[in-house]
Structure 1
């Protein structure tokens, strides 16, 4: 619970890069001892959202173009695999859910909500791969990347090209075009990241 709350605050920008994550303050805020706070901070460090400096404490990790590139590359390797494993298991209900999420993206002007809906769009497809470990790693990378996307998209609408690409992803899923889908998702991730 503590890790989830801190993760959301970091990924939304509520806790900015470089900010200290003080155990005493976090423990007091949640009404817990230091032990669960230390465990939560370890989880955030393992996800790349925080860094531990010896004798100085834990801090929200800074933003870096090199890290953003690596996260994007990571997603571009794993997500096409997930989509390929999922394609034969997708149902019409999954496709319709994807369409509904696209409509919600179009209706919201909140950048964080758009990012969450876009993540849910991809998760609707990837969940059908039945590879929870892969999906968890992709979601961690996406959460970390949200900090970068919020900077890029906070003052503008969700790129029309991204929504067009989401539609193409659904079309490829409906056509059961595994090769086309996996290649296109890799391209979609890299284009979005650029």
Structure 2
């Protein structure tokens, strides 16, 4: 029994470390994740490494390619937009559950994250504070399974969207949305929080699609000339 708990803890630790490195960009899209090398790195057998990679694959962060094995997964604009639609459903539901349960400690935690967000200097830092804010907003729903789903979908989209969003909107406009959401939460208006959150996420989707269209136009022009 003790051996099973230790193995479980080890594969979870490996998964969390690899997830953080993928989300931060330390492991870019296409990076090969060799089981033997990871086992050596984490001083583990291949069994917990294999399980960690399996779980990351289920989250969409890892894919298996022919003749290459596990690699850090890429994602198309269409796939990201699908996940953003799912985020709307999950996060807005969580917000309606969370707002009635919020206390001053929750508001203070969100405001501290937003302060760090404003002070962040790099896109990876910005993305991490954004992720933490969305999780802090959902946490008072007190539904661990729902929070885990939100975390996975936040992680799967943020690492792709923040570079595009930094070009399209900068940092100020999303941050204004965040503060409006906290203000509505302080007022205890769960429906308003959900409405603001839906617009906030769907604006990300629209900006991402517009960025992709602009890139397509630039590519077309470069091919014609």
Please report the TM-score for the alignment, with normalisation by the length of structure 1: 0.92
1:100 CA drift (Å):
1.8
Distance change in 2, residues 1:183/1:131 (3 Å)? same
Asked if 1 retains the 8 angstrom alpha-carbon contact of 2:64 and 2:70, the reply is yes
Give RMSD over aligned pairs: 1.9
The structure carrying a bigger helix percent of its residues is 2
Give the equivalent residue in structure 2 for 1:82: 94
Give the equivalent residue in structure 1 for 2:219: none
Asked if 1 retains the 8 angstrom alpha-carbon contact of 2:32 and 2:68, the reply is no
1:20 CA drift (Å):
1.4
1:146 CA drift (Å):
2.3
By relative contact order (CA 8 Å, sep 6+), the higher-ranking structure is 1
Give the equivalent residue in structure 2 for 1:68: 80
Q: Unmatched 5+ residue regions in structure 1?
A: none
Pair 1:169 & 2:181 matched: yes
Asked if 2 retains the 8 angstrom alpha-carbon contact of 1:86 and 1:130, the reply is yes
Asked if 1 retains the 8 angstrom alpha-carbon contact of 2:123 and 2:163, the reply is no
Distance change in 2, residues 1:154/1:188 (3 Å)? closer
Partners of 2:54 and 2:66 lie apart in 1 by 14
Pair 1:128 & 2:140 matched: yes
Asked if 2 retains the 8 angstrom alpha-carbon contact of 1:22 and 1:57, the reply is yes
Pair 1:51 & 2:63 matched: yes
1:4 CA drift (Å):
1.1
Asked if 2 retains the 8 angstrom alpha-carbon contact of 1:109 and 1:157, the reply is no
1:151 CA drift (Å):
2.7
> Is 98-107 or 134-143 further displaced after alignment?
98-107
Partners of 2:66 and 2:134 lie apart in 1 by 38
Q: Residues 70-112 of structure 1, C-alpha deviation per residue, up to 9 Å, x if partnerless?
A: 1111101100000000111111221122222211111120222
Distance change in 2, residues 1:186/1:153 (3 Å)? closer
1:161 CA drift (Å):
1.0
Give the equivalent residue in structure 2 for 1:189: 201
Partners of 1:150 and 1:164 lie apart in 2 by 16
Q: Unmatched 5+ residue regions in structure 2?
A: 1-12, 208-225
Asked if 1 retains the 8 angstrom alpha-carbon contact of 2:123 and 2:162, the reply is yes
Q: Which has the larger radius of gyration?
A: 2
Partners of 2:40 and 2:169 lie apart in 1 by 38
Give the equivalent residue in structure 1 for 2:164: 152
Out of 19, 33, 43, the residue aligned to residue 21 of structure 1 is 33
